[in-house]
Structure formats: C-alpha cells, structure tokens
Amino acid sequence: MSSNLPVLIYEVILILLLTAFIGDNLREVLATRGVSHGHTKSNNTFEVFSVLGIEAARTTIMNEIQYTMSQHGMSIDKRHTTLLADLMTCRYVPSG
C-alpha cells in the first residue's frame, strides 16, 4: 500500500489542479504536467481556435453538433455536420 502512496498523492494533486481550471483556460490545462493532450477537450470553439487552430475548431463544431443532437434522440448524417462545420469555418475564423 505504501508503494502506491506517491502515485495516489500525485493523482489527488492533479485532480485539484484540474478543478482549478474552471471555465475557458485550455492553454493552461494543456500546459499542465500529466495532462493528456489527446484526451483533453473543450466545447468552446473560439478558444479551441485560438489555441489549436481552425481545423481543431472545425472538429469541435462537428463534435458538438453530433453530441447535442444525440442528446435529443436525433441522429444526423456525418456529411451534413461536416458541411455545416465547413460553412462555419470557411473564412478561417469560426462563425456562429
């Protein structure tokens, strides 16, 4: 049990740090040691755009549309959400 204690303390500290980043602070969350960049998500399209670029913002738009519609029991073909996300980012700045 004592051999797992440092890992447990590290996990608790990491959880406390992550809960301190409430709101729009993606850049600082990604800069936090131990945070997996591949598993970190944000639903703020404009923040994703400013931190990760237009393609990441486009992907965020598509994911949010799919998630929102699925929560209401609707399914939308991926081609339609892709088309909508393309229209919303065609000027290299997210709109809407």
Nearest to 17 by CA among 6, 4, 7, 30: 30
Which range has the worst mean pLDDT, 16-20, 26-30, 81-85, 88-92?
16-20
Q: What is the pTM of this model?
A: 0.70
Interval 13-65: pLDDT, tens: 656 555 545 557 888 888 888 888 888 888 888 889 999 999 999 999 999 99
Residue 83 burial (CB count, 10 A): 12
Cα–Cα distance measured from residue 27 to residue 56, given in angstroms and rounded to the nearest whole number: 14
